[in-house]
Structure 1
Amino acid sequence: MLRPMRAAAFTAALLVVGAPAAIAHDAPPAKTVFVAPQASGPACSAHKPCSLATAQQRVRRLLADQEADGEARDITVQLADGTYRLTQTLNFTSQDSGRADSRVTWTAAPGAHPVLSGATRVTGWQLHDADAGIWSAPVPDGLDTRQVYVDGKRAPIAQTTPAEQNLKFAATPGGYTTTPATWGQVLQGRIGAAALKGVEFVYTGGNGPWTQSRCRTDTADGPVILMQQPCWGNVTKRPTFTQASGSLPSMSPGKAPTRIENAYPFLHTGQWYLDRDDHVLYYVPPENQDMEQLDVELPRLSALVTGSGTLDHPVRNITFSGLEFSYATWLDPSSRAGFSDVQDNLRITGDDPAHPQATCTFGTCPFGSLSREPGNIQFTAAHNINFEDNTFNHLGAAGLVLEYGSRHNTVEGNTFADISGNGIILGNTTDPHPSEVGADDRELSTHNTIANNLIHHIGADYPSAAGITLFFTQNTTVTHNELHDLPYTGISAGVVQGHVDNAAHPDNSTNINSDNTISHNLIHGFMQVLKDGGAVYVEGHQGQTITAPDGTVDRAASIAHGLNVEGNVAYDQGNSNFTWYDDARAQWIDWTGNVEWGGYLGQGGCQTTGHLDFTGNYSSDPTGEYHCSPPVPVDTHADGNRVIPPQPAAADLPLDTLTTAGLVGRFQHLTTDERPVIGYLQSPSGSPVSQPVDVLVAGSGYDAHTRVSFGDIPAAKVSTLSSGFLIATAPAGANPARVAVTTANGSVSATAPALNVARNRPAEQSSTWEGSSGTTYPAGNAVDGNDGNFSDTKNETQPWWQVDLGQSHPLDQIVIYNRTDCCQSRLSDYYVIVSDEPFTSSGLADTLAQPGVWSSHQSAQADRPTTVDVQGHQGRYVRLQLAGTNELALAEVQVLPR
């Protein structure tokens, strides 16, 4: 009886999501304050608008007058079109709050697109080094950043790799010895001792395959490079402990970095470097960019908008709508603490890894007060704050954080994209039981709703990020969001490895989590960079253990008030792991009616406590898998689950679940306003069919007017289920494996996997890179159907990779996927070569001159994907070869016949 009651409450919550606050019929008319980007003066009228700062002071006076008069009047601050370049954080307190029965709304003027920016536009460019194509421009004194954007796109910082530097590492106390022995001193001689302290080593997978830590160098003396403390100790000397739910692994001190960043000599095409001493920004534009015309934005604020409430005086009753929050940075990873990654962008930052961080008394507090990433928009003790129909992008930390006593807030209908860290964070990692440290329940984050948001391309700098993260929360609803193109997990619930709040009972990892719901979300293209995560990833206790009057555990009540994960759909997993992942000490979770396919493991975890229901789910992959056990999870129940094919057709799936997953109603425009995406295509055949067949297409951006064609033949019928799914009927004579989708915002084409004649075919390359740990990247990685790993050659002149298709085909397209973890610029200035006969030379010129060869020169950096039209040329052998000297790395190569 408890679950139906909870479902009814959940339905009621959906009905009020995004609804305006009730206003009495006799309420006085709202007051409007008008703002414009370059405005000045105190009027704040439609004809004489004012600045943001003046508008905030005007609102405070109006609120004070209302308080004195006993009035309750809504106030609207209307922002005109344009960019508002903030010189300091726009901070809201209880003085800016609406009253109990009124709101203050900061919103875009009709038809306007106001942008709140924390960046300085860089001008005054001059050619600095003509041979290297390096340009320079002055920046204001004291300006620092970790990001630069060129024409609205994130530019990579100057970087290199150990292979490019022909560099080997061995452990020494506090750092490394290098081969060549002079590398560090030569670099220091070129850039100076101060700049050497800015050189940053990046370690993908260093502290577990779910992490990417960063530490900076300190000094170079002979062959020895010392790393900055406390970062190096926090990365390599994490203490061991016996907590049954796992450990936080230390990185081997001899592990070579994945890449090395932030020094002038590392500059490559498309990259930037900031000389903080001389206040100069350097940039190497690609050939197609004109420095005189570029918009180069350098973020300088770490916080754009904040809400500084307190438990006694919360910030409340404010709405933000129609605004864009863009261009902010975050400088903590540049400190000596670096970025000692734990998971989900939680970090160890203390001065000594052997001592507690904050108030925890167990080791380094792996279960306690880990440092949480801040938000570029962050609210503390926030009540009834609404973020509706905004855009959060080009941000250097987390997009939005609601923490510490935040309740009854709504985040709905927003887009989160191009963010360095997490998309949305709710709750705190500290105080799992506030009452035990003298606080009261006002500290809890409760009754918050995150709904109908579009979240993609987050974790751009710190890829252990999740799209949505819940820490310690109650009565949270996360529903109808669409998340795609993610480096790691989609939605994460719980603090890493549970939470030990009392060292006297470390196995009792209790917290205040209860009554949270993750439902009807659409998650695809996740786990694209890191490993060991999932579409929905859960750790620790998700509900309270409720006892009956006789002292026994009331299982029904405990499950009903735990975590409900229901009606979510996930596909297109990159690096394989569990799709629905109940991990370390997870318990009291109800997985119901979820759908997943094309992963590796459908559901399971590692050292899970238990108390789990898994009911009515559709999965193409094994479920109930607990590879790290014993202990075997206790009290698990599975019932009514269905096994579906790895490449399911529409008939294999519950279409009502597909229809309701992701954005619904008026919020579907967040995807339909963008170019369509195809993330999955199921075709019953790879050749023309003799009778009509239905084809399932999954992705993003579909609407009732979407058109579908199969080659040049229009679909006989298109049934759009939602913005993320459609079913198209291929008529007789059409090839259902070759699909094009067209909307008002563009077209996209794709082919079913069965049509890729390169998959799992024999591949070879000119050499194979081997990492310091012995890991290799063979040629076959580029044709294994998984674009989350990659092949890689050594750093050499004109490296090549090739595949034997087994027989000759008339070829239509070759589809190339660049890697995602780093170094994408290496895959540029290359040739795609097709031959019906084996290649007879390793040299590029000789290969291009070989009789019967077809080739295409690709000068630009490869994308994900880059599609090369082969124009029907006949071929059995396909080669990719760089024109210059570098490593050749390929995430995936697909070869599509005509």
Structure 2
Amino acid sequence: MKKRLLIMLLGLVSASLYAADTIIYVSPEADGEALANAVVAAREYHRLHGKYAEIRLTSGIYRLYEPLCLRPEDSGLQLVGSGDTHLTGSVQVKGWKKTGRCYEADVPDFNGRPFDFRQIWVNGRKAVRARSVSDWDKMPSILNYDKKNRILWVPKRAVMQVMKEKKENSKLNLQDNRYEGLELVLHQMWEIGILRVKDIRVEGDSAAVIFHNPEARLQFSHPWPSPMYHSRHDSPFFFVNSLSLLDKPGEWYHNIRTGKLYYMPRKGEDMSTADVEVPVLETLVKITGVLDRKVSNICFDSIDFNYTTWMRPSYKGHVPLQAGMYLTEAYKLHPQIDRQNNHKLDNQGWLGRAEAAIEVDNADRIDFLNCRLEHLGGSGLDYVSGCHYGKTFNCIFRDIALNGFVDGSFSPEGQEAHLPYCPRDVRVVCSHQAVLHNQFSNIANEDWGCVAIAAGYVSNINIEYNDVHDISYTGISLGWGWNRDSVCMHDNYVAYNHIYNYARHMYDCAGIYTLGNQPGTVIEYNQVSDIAHPSYVHDPDHWFYLYTDEGSSNITLRNNWTPSEKYLKNATGPGNIWDNNGPQAPHNTIK
């Protein structure tokens, strides 16, 4: 009854806040500019009459050829779907012809040019980029890791299949790169690395794998997270994106030279009628203001956001530090840096951030109600910087390659990641956001080190009543910085969330994980259970239900139900309160 009343009250608040004076109807049968034209019409209606408009999108698929951009002049706008309304960043591939065990088709140009992509979906189901393993438990492990010469040594048997592609590419005279497009995905503790293969050299029963820059430089210079070798649990790996690997139903390969797409259908798939969606956009919606002139009071209601990609790994590889935040430079320090009140710092690193299907920057009261974010090749919804009072309510996040929901800074690009972040202008800090009653599943299905809900340098965020399951790594990650110094994080609230079946691929994780000094932050009445047990993690015992990591300070954790008290307090600061967590805590608090 309480939950139902809360939903009704939220609905009343939204209805009163977004009362529109006129309605503009948009149909997907119109040209691809219909939605953008409707936004302009609403903008001009407000400019000329001082009144607000609602855009109603009738059911259907709206194929975008560029992101929908909303700016301060669009403040007050509502966009409401009709229950089956899809904003889509993909094109369809048709005209399939059988070729041996596979089918092939020509990929159409997009905006007048050929394009590349990292995902496809067939009849709404994600297909598998051709890879060397189908059973994760049978991934081979690395043999050695030569930092000086930037060589990864692997078993010879692991490269024999991809070396078939070398002969085929040589016949096509594909310049020096005989492994064009081939990638090696490396499991390294709490993250992965996506490394583009430059060459493979067989020596005896081993093979030396050499990678392209810039990721080769980053991979062999960054100390954390590192691959495991000469250990009890050496790091596993697999290859992707070679025609020679396309040998299982559901796999695909795109030859960027010829524009041919190859696919081996799953049982029951008829390629003469199949809906094959290939993503062309990285972002569907961009909401962008400036600190002194923000976007405000925009609501998306009952709209699906589908089919995006993220292409940076295809051009620069992907070597992340944590939560998908990729390194742009990193190296070990000699000697280490003494930090007052913190342990010595042995490395430095600078970070970048992946694209998301929806990106919000310098905007207040931007709400997403009853929406679905599904089939996405980057992250889902990202409140980047300077966002306040936004609400994400009753949305479904599913089948997402990286993070589901992202909020706040994870160190600006020009700031070293371990330094405390306390900007003079606190307006840049995302605050008073609410993430309520959402469902997260099948998140981080490509970058296994990403999380369902990632909140960095934030304050006064409420994360409540979310259902989080089938996650590759951590469920909810709160905080950033790896130090206990005073920063901009405070008064965050994480409660009544149900987190289960997490850590499907990576350990050094938790259902709920924290970093940094967060005065006034409370984590309570959550349920965390059912950790996955992948056989290939770097340390089979290094998983937790609750985990306060480096610098976590002034956080209260109480009344959280977990099957046992398997928690970690790693290099934490002062002021943390642990009270009544474990199997004795209230168990049926989530309604």
TM range (shorter): 0.7 to 0.9
Correspondence for 2:410 among 414, 424, 429: 429
Q: Which moved more, 1:175-184 or 1:372-381?
A: 175-184
Does structure 2 conserve the Cα–Cα contact (< 8 Å) formed by 1:167 and 1:180?
Answer: no
Establish whether residue 32 from structure 1 lines up as the match of residue 40 from structure 2.
no
Structure whose residues are more often strand by fraction: 2
Structure 2 counterpart of 1:142 = 114
1:542 partnered with 2:518: yes
- Check if 1:324 corresponds to 2:304: yes
User: Hey, what's the Cα distance between the residues in 2 that align with 1:40 and 1:125?
Assistant: 26
Separation (CA, whole Å) in 1 of partners of 2:241 and 2:31: 40
TM alignment of 1:146-295, pairs within 5 A: 146-161=118-133, 170-171=144-145, 173-176=149-152, 180=156, 183=160, 187-191=165-169, 192=174, 193-194=176-177, 196-204=179-187, 206=188, 208=189, 210-220=190-200, 224-239=208-223, 248-251=224-227, 258-268=237-247, 269-295=249-275
Which residue does the alignment assign to 1:798? none
Q: Would you say the 8 A contact 2:459–2:489 is kept in 1?
A: yes
Q: 1:347 and 2:315 equivalent?
A: no
Gaps of 5+ in 2: 334-338, 340-344, 413-418, 534-540
**Match for residue 702 of structure 1?**
none
Q: Residue by residue, what CA displacement relative to the aligned partner does 1:55-80 show, whole Å, maximum 9, x if unpaired?
A: 011011112113xxxx3x33110001
Aligned-partner Cα distance in 1 for 2:244–2:86: 35
| Structure 1 counterpart of 2:336 | none
Q: Give the root-mean-square deviation of aligned CA atoms.
A: 3.1
Which among 13, 20, 37 is matched to residue 13 of structure 2?
20
- 1:177, 1:463 → 2: CA distance? 22
Contact preservation (8 Å) 2:282, 2:355? no
Change (3 A) 1:133 1:167: farther
**What is the alpha-carbon distance in structure 2 between the residues aligned to residue 94 and residue 522 of structure 1?**
37
Counterpart for residue 603 of structure 1: 567
- 1:96–1:249 distance in 2 versus 1, CA, 3 Å: same
- Equivalent position of 2:478 in the other structure: 493
Aligned match of 1:632: none
Tell me the amino acid that sits aligned with residue 237 of structure 2: T
Tell me the residue number matched to 2:399: 418
Check conservation: 1:236, 1:252, Cα contact below 8 A.
no
Matched, 1:476 2:461: yes
2:410–2:456 contact (8 Å) kept in structure 1:
yes
- Structure-1 residue corresponding to 2:373: 392
Correspondence 1:658-737 to 2 at 5 A: 658=588, 660-661=589-590, 722=591
Question: C-alpha separation between the residues in 1 aligned to 2:228 and 2:470?
Answer: 30
1:107 paired to 2:85:
no
Match of 2:94 in 1: 123
- 1:95 paired residue among 45, 50, 73: 73
1:569 paired with 2:510, answer no
Q: Distance in 2 between matches of 1:127 and 1:238?
A: 45
Question: Are the structure 2 counterparts of residues 515 and 96 from structure 1 closer, same or farther at C-alpha, using a change threshold of 3 Å?
Answer: same
Question: Which whole-Å deviations, capped at 9, do the CAs of 1:209-239 have from their partners, x for residues lacking one?
Answer: x212211112346755421122123223225
CA contact (8 A) 1:578 1:605 kept: no
Contact 1:126/1:137, CA 8 A, preserved across alignment: no
Encode CA deviations 1:624-663: one digit per residue, 9 max, x unaligned. Answer: xxxxxxxxxxxxxxxxxx3xxxxxxxxxx73xx52x42xx
Q: Which amino acid aligns with 1:20?
A: V
Paired with 2:16 and 2:102, the residues of 1 have a C-alpha distance of 61
Structure with the larger RCO, 1 or 2 (CA within 8 Å, 6+ apart):
2
TM-score using structure 1 length: 0.56
Secondary structure in 2 matching 1:95: helix
SS in 1 for 2:443: coil
Residue in structure 2 matching 1:133, options 93, 102, 110: 102
TM superposition shift of 1:52 = 0.4
Unaligned runs of 5+ in 1: 1-11, 42-49, 99-103, 240-247, 356-360, 500-507, 544-560, 621-641, 643-652, 662-721, 723-898
Aligned to 2:359: 378
Cα shift at 1:17:
4.4
1:571, distance to aligned residue in structure 2 (A): 1.6
Residues 398 and 152 of structure 1: is their aligned pair in 2 closer, same or farther, counting only changes over 3 Å? same
8 Å CA contact retained: 2:332, 2:348: no
Pairwise CA distance, 1:134: 4.2
Kept in 2, the 8 Å contact 1:235–1:251? The answer is no
Q: CA deviation at 1:106?
A: 0.1
The code of the aligned residue for 2:305 comes to: F
Output the CA distance in 1 between the equivalents of 2:387 and 2:140: 51
Matched, 1:52 2:35: yes
Distance 1:55 1:364, change over 3 A: farther
Q: 1:396 to 1:482 in 2, by over 3 A?
A: same
Aligned partners of 1:433, 1:169: CA distance in 2, in Å? 38
Shift of 1:433: 6.5
1:551 aligned residue: none
Alignment of 1:441-520 (within 5 A): 441-495=426-480, 498-499=482-483, 509-520=485-496
- CA offsets 1:713-740 (integer angstroms, 9 cap, x no match): xxxxxxxxx4xxxxxxxxxxxxxxxxxx
Distance 1:603 1:222 in 2: 44
Alignment deviations for residues 116-136 of structure 1 (CA, whole Å, 9 cap, x no partner):
0001111010112x2x33434
Q: How many Å apart are 1:40 and its aligned residue?
A: 5.2
Whole-angstrom distance in 1 between the partners of 2:153 and 2:567: 44
Q: CA deviation at 1:286?
A: 2.6
In structure 2, what residue type is equivalent to 1:517?
Y
**Conserved 8 A contact 1:590-1:614:** yes
Please list the CA deviations of residues 345-367 of structure 1 after superposition, one character each: whole Å capped at 9, or x if unmatched.
122123x6469xxxxx987644x
User: What secondary structure does 1:513 align onto?
Assistant: coil
2:130 and 2:88 map into 1 onto residues whose CA distance is 24
Query: Which residue type is aligned with residue 126 of structure 2?
Result: R
Report deviation, 1:455: 0.9
Q: How many Å apart are 1:275 and its aligned residue?
A: 0.7
Give the Cα separation in 1 of the matches to 2:57 and 2:479.
38
Identity of aligned residues (%): 24
After superposition, the Cα gap between the structure-2 partners of 1:308 and 1:365, relative to the gap in structure 1 and judged at 3 Å, is farther
- 8 A contact 1:137–1:282 mirrored in 2: no
Per-residue CA deviation, residues 666-709 of structure 1 (Å, 9 max, x unaligned), is xxxxxxxxxxxxxxxxxxxxxxxxxxxxxxxxxxxxxxxxxxxx
- How many angstroms apart in 1 are the aligned matches of 2:245 and 2:72? 48
TM-score w.r.t. the length of structure 2 is 0.84
Counterparts of residues 759-774 of structure 1 (less than 5 Å): none
Aligned partners of 2:134 and 2:80: how far apart in 1?
A: 49
| Map of 2:556 onto structure 1 | 590
Change in Cα spacing, 1:23 to 1:579, as seen in structure 2 (3 Å) is closer
Residue type of the alignment partner of 1:604: L
The number of equivalent residue pairs is: 541
| Contact persistence 2:228–2:235 (CA under 8 A) | no
Q: Deviations over 1:6-27 (max 9, x none)?
A: xxxxxx9999645435859xx9
Query: Is 1:306 aligned with 2:286?
Result: yes
Tell me how far 1:460 sits from its aligned partner: 0.9
Bigger Rg, structure 1 or 2: 1
Matched residue type, 2:482: G
8 Å CA contact 1:18, 1:388 repeated in 2 = no
Which SS does the other structure have where 1:64 is aligned?
A: helix
Change (3 A) 1:201 1:448: same
Quick check: 1:237–1:250 contact (8 Å CA) kept in 2?
Answer: no
Q: Distance in 2 between matches of 1:180 and 1:615?
A: 53
Using the TM superposition, give the Cα deviation of residue 165 of structure 1 relative to its aligned residue in structure 2, in angstroms.
Answer: 11
Q: Which of 516, 528, 534 is equivalent to 2:504? A: 528
